[in-house]
Structure 1
Amino acid sequence: MTVQQQNNARERVSIVPYTPEYKQAFHDLNMAWLEKYFTVEPVHRHALENPESEILKGGGEIFFAIRDGKALGTVAMRAAGNGVFELTKLGVDPSAQGFGLGYLLCEAVIDVFKAKKGTRLYLETHTKLKPAMRLYEKLNFKLMPKPEDAHYQGTDCYMIWSPDQ
Structure 2
Amino acid sequence: MSYTSSHPRPGDLIEIFRVAYQHWAIYIGNGYVIHLTSDGGSGETLSNVMSSSTIFAVVKKERLSAVAGSSKYRVNNTADQIRNRFPVRQILQNAEAQVGNRQKYNVTGANCEHFVKRLCYGKAESRQIAKSLRCGSVCQWLLAVLLLFPWLSLQFVLLLSLLRLLWKMCKNSVPTHLSIIT
State the TM-score, normalizing by the size of structure 2: 0.26
State the TM-score, normalizing by the size of structure 1: 0.27
